[in-house]
Amino acid sequence: MKVNSKLGKKIENGDFIVTAEYLPSAAVNGSVIEASLKALGNSLSAVNVADNHYGVAMSSLAASVAVMKSGAEPICQIVTRDRNRIALQSDLLGATYLGIKNVLCLSGYHQTLVGCPESAS
């Protein structure tokens, strides 16, 4: 299998890997992402971008693009809790189109734990 991400190549080479997790907020502000990454310097191999970690927030796809624009490699998290199969496939196609090479799928926290108890899966 061809590895086409910097993170994948580091894993393949057995390099030491450092990642950080970014929790997007409901505010739409790319400069916050840039400032956060700048504070961490060049020590990161990749940045995990959370997907609606504690309820409504900027999408992981959009925040992953902001991470790429800041010069870091994102790991776009996609939570399956809020999506059916069609939505998951659409997000994966969108990530591919946007140039996102790393995706982490997670089940996510139950709605009652993320501030949206009235929502349905």
Predicted local distance difference test score (pLDDT) of residue 56: 77
Predicted local distance difference test score (pLDDT) of residue 108: 65
Q: What is the pLDDT of residues 23-32, one digit of tens each?
A: 887 777 777 7
CA distance 1 to 4: 10
Question: Considering the entire predicted model, what is its pTM?
Answer: 0.82
Predicted local distance difference test score (pLDDT) of residue 14: 95
Query: What residues in the chain have per-residue pLDDT under 70?
Result: 54-55, 108-121
* Cβ contact 7:46 at 8 Å: yes
User: Phi first, then psi: what are they for 74, rounded to 5°?
Assistant: -85, 155
| Superfamily in which the 6-109 domain is placed by CATH | Aldolase class I (3.20.20.70)
Predicted local distance difference test score (pLDDT) of residue 90: 96
